[in-house]
Structure 1
């Protein structure tokens, strides 16, 4: 059934042509896109001042005609908004916030405040429905169709997953996490990420050499973010330069060793072509090489 969404820019500035392509892609799927004007009031690399981005976020949640609030992109800036958000105001018209990367921090805090959130493709990625190879467009379409299904109601999805070393055959817990660099940047701040007991923590990143990934994970581990985690599940690490013959899985396993947290990899989640959506905080179950997440 057709419905409307509100587009917001809580982080970095996005080129107008990329926004336009994303809107056309969503409209091709039958979605009505409502955009506050101006979407951008550029300030350095940000989409606007903190006040501009906060006003846009609140207005998007206030809109009674939309079913979800969709971030146009990540980048940097979402963490600046946390202490200025009127959470009771957002709860009056609770609707899922959608995005990933820098938007990870907003997804986590929506979940903490009892609001729905979906870790999934940003709105500008819908431009991939309009051009490129047929196979790539099919991947993008599936991901957006799954995201639209999650907006409309309970939908269970499952994803391939590979255990590392002696990881247990089955586990269950809330699914949280997101971009590794973003989560690491929050350690020691009031917005710091802390995995709930038994959580299945998904991590992904882009463009970071392995030593930076190890540094970010070390910061999470020794900052106490993963002390109660049930497992770490690696998504994609697009464009992350390896070091010698060291595998990322081996580096992560070594860093997690003091906590005894099991490791899995191979999730089609993150930057790049493969970024399937999942409902933040929903119950996930790992079994038989699959991660199933309840709607």
Structure 2
């Protein structure tokens, strides 16, 4: 499949902020609005911003309608998910991507927005795994700057220190993935993706170690880990254990599951729910290199 990269943004372009999952108040949106405006962008608040349906930012239908409006509006050049939590999977099958496929635009988010990344990857369009509007007040400057660079088509070339548990090597392939729990939940659905020959990125938050093992075993049994070009692991943040220890930490669990495969594995990449969340263009070819000194991830 040929993959399409949406047009990069320029000053004056409009970005819509919408709820696909958890609710987000208008007041909470102010830091994100100010950030986008400082970049010379115009901000459109979707009709879901400020809606309150228990945990969710409006009913399923309201969230579908808002997302479809932004997809169909030719003046909107990017759609920024307000926050994660849970709820995108409830609406994904009702979203109409017809006009989006004719005129792609950036879809931005992480965590629960992994549903969108995975689903849209299957449609052949690049998306942006990055901070959400909710993230802005606590986001590090480097995370915000990487979002700006990705949206405006500037070079993305990341260098980090090696982790002692890394498995060295070089790889080239499309970057795919996102939140491990979401990828696990999509298995068997139309939104689950083919990872063969690709570089898989995973991260997660607030999980029990035995459940990390369960999810990784399921990805393995579904063939998602066998033919990877490489594996990049972001933050495995705030992991939990039982009173009887599982016996392995998250990194050790992942290494054990992929021990029979021969590709580079990189840990502690600064993306996900940790302090740093660098922007990743999902569906883009990346060059991954891990050696005894450092790790580099360069986007084409």
Report the TM-score range of the alignment, normalised by the length of the smaller protein.
0.7 to 0.9
Which of 41, 46, 51 is matched with 1:36 structurally? Answer: 46
**Which residue pairs with 2:6 in the alignment?**
none
**Which residue pairs with 2:234 in the alignment?**
235
Distance in 1 (CA, whole Å) between partners of 2:166 and 2:127 is: 32
**Which residue pairs with 1:132 in the alignment?**
none
Which structure shows the bigger proportion of residues in helix conformation?
1
Distance in 2 (CA, whole Å) between partners of 1:285 and 1:210 is: 30
1:22 Cα deviation (Å)?
2.7
Residue 91 of structure 2: SS of its match in structure 1?
Answer: helix
1:106 Cα deviation (Å)?
0.3
What is the aligned-residue RMSD (CA, Å)?
A: 2.4
The structure-2 alpha-carbon separation of the partners of 1:119 and 1:38, relative to structure 1 and needing over 3 Å to count, comes to closer
Distance in 2 (CA, whole Å) between partners of 1:223 and 1:245 is: 25
**Which residue pairs with 1:207 in the alignment?**
206
Distance in 2 (CA, whole Å) between partners of 1:17 and 1:238 is: 28
1:219 Cα deviation (Å)?
1.6
Distance in 2 (CA, whole Å) between partners of 1:38 and 1:181 is: 25
**Is the contact made by 1:158 and 1:291 (CA closer than 8 Å) also made in structure 2?**
yes
TM-score (norm 1): 0.86
**Is the contact made by 1:170 and 1:285 (CA closer than 8 Å) also made in structure 2?**
yes
Which of 264, 277, 280 is matched with 2:279 structurally? Answer: 277
**Is the contact made by 2:206 and 2:239 (CA closer than 8 Å) also made in structure 1?**
yes
Distance in 1 (CA, whole Å) between partners of 2:271 and 2:48 is: 31
**Is the contact made by 2:209 and 2:246 (CA closer than 8 Å) also made in structure 1?**
no
Distance in 2 (CA, whole Å) between partners of 1:27 and 1:199 is: 35
Which of 52, 59, 67 is matched with 1:49 structurally? Answer: 59
**Is the contact made by 1:75 and 1:102 (CA closer than 8 Å) also made in structure 2?**
yes
TM-score (norm 2): 0.85
Distance in 1 (CA, whole Å) between partners of 2:83 and 2:188 is: 25
Residue 68 of structure 1: SS of its match in structure 2?
Answer: strand
**Which residue pairs with 2:107 in the alignment?**
97
**Which residue pairs with 2:152 in the alignment?**
152
Report matched runs for 1:134-149 at 5 Å: 140-149=140-149
**Which residue pairs with 1:20 in the alignment?**
30
Residues 32-61 of structure 1: CA deviation (Å, up to 9, x unaligned): 211123424333322222221111112112
**Is the contact made by 2:207 and 2:238 (CA closer than 8 Å) also made in structure 1?**
yes
Number of equivalenced pairs: 284
Which of 242, 246, 249 is matched with 1:247 structurally? Answer: 249
Residues 138-168 of structure 1: CA deviation (Å, up to 9, x unaligned): x622222221221122533224263666834
**Which residue pairs with 2:288 in the alignment?**
286
**Is the contact made by 1:11 and 1:73 (CA closer than 8 Å) also made in structure 2?**
yes
The structure-2 alpha-carbon separation of the partners of 1:163 and 1:194, relative to structure 1 and needing over 3 Å to count, comes to farther
Residues 56-107 of structure 1: CA deviation (Å, up to 9, x unaligned): 1121122333321110111111122222222222123311101000101101
Report matched runs for 1:80-91 at 5 Å: 80-91=90-101
**Is the contact made by 1:156 and 1:294 (CA closer than 8 Å) also made in structure 2?**
yes
Distance in 2 (CA, whole Å) between partners of 1:109 and 1:227 is: 21
Gaps of 5+ in 1: 129-138
Residue 124 of structure 1: SS of its match in structure 2?
Answer: helix
